[in-house]
Amino acid sequence: MRCPLSVALEKKEKSFAMKKRMTFAIFLTLILMTPTMLGAVETSVGTYSELLTAIRGVRSESQARVEKAVEQEKVREAWETGKLIDEHVLQHKERAEYADQTILRLARDLGTSETELRYMLQFARTYPIHRPADELSWSHYESLMAVNDLDERKTLAEKAVKEKWNRDKLRS
């Protein structure tokens, strides 16, 4: 049995590591997009009104990039979480109820829902090789997992990307 203090410290370290990775992902995304940003910024603003409009535009574009980076990290987190659960459960596959018990316990200890953890596990099993998250959100992947046919799921994913479908359009 591990000491409760060491368990608590380990949880804090993991939480800090996740926040650090998310911050780094956002930072990296913004750095990689800087050349695009610089080209989009109007360099000549003659009036205060033009300046205000230009700054509002920069803020809006920046917020969109931050939101996209966060969404990409959500997909990565979901896949990694599901993969960790899957690998752990497979180590105890001789106990049929172990997966359910583990998910219940994780949901309680992590302060998240069982449903979300089950989706993450299903995600890792549906996409055993990590999928790039740059074009589809976590909610897109949640919808795609309901499609059992691999070819149909792939076709829908490609259409969703190409036609820039939102989650609701993909679900319909």
- pLDDT at residue 5 in the model: 45
Amino acid letter for position 171: R
Distance, CA of 17 to CA of 124 (rounded, Å): 21
pTM metric for this prediction? 0.68
Distance, CA of 9 to CA of 58 (rounded, Å): 40
What is the chain's mean pLDDT, rounded? Answer: 83
- pLDDT at residue 96 in the model: 80
Residues with pLDDT less than 70, the chain = 1-43, 131-133
Which tokens sit at 62?
């920046």
Distance, CA of 20 to CA of 116 (rounded, Å): 22
The closest of 25, 116, 32, 117 to 72, measured between CA atoms, is 25
Which tokens sit at 4?
């409760």
Which tokens sit at 8?
């608590």
